[in-house]
Amino acid sequence: MADDAFLQLAEAYNYMELLQRGLADGGRALAGNDEKFLNDVRKSIDAAEPLLTR
């Protein structure tokens, strides 16, 4: 796997890990920069998806 592809996958994995931890902690409504974070997660996963389906 090329370095740039690996970096894309690593970024997506990191975002998913942060998202899972945040959801597991629970206890608060979405606020502040949460919408930007969720949009960044989606963009990262969308970019990584074709790398996993090759």
Tell the burial category of 51 from Cβ atoms under 10 Å away from its Cβ (0-12, 13-18, 19+): middle
For residue 51, give every residue at least 6 positions away whose Cβ sits within 8 Å of its Cβ, in sequence order, or none: 1, 5, 8, 9
pLDDT tens figures, 25-50: 887 888 899 999 999 999 999 999 98
- pTM listed for this prediction: 0.74
pLDDT of residue 19: 87
How does DSSP assign 26-50, residue by residue?
A: --S---TTHHHHHHHHHHHHHHHHH
Across the range 20-25, mean pLDDT stands at: 87
Across the range 16-33, mean pLDDT stands at: 87
pLDDT of residue 54: 64
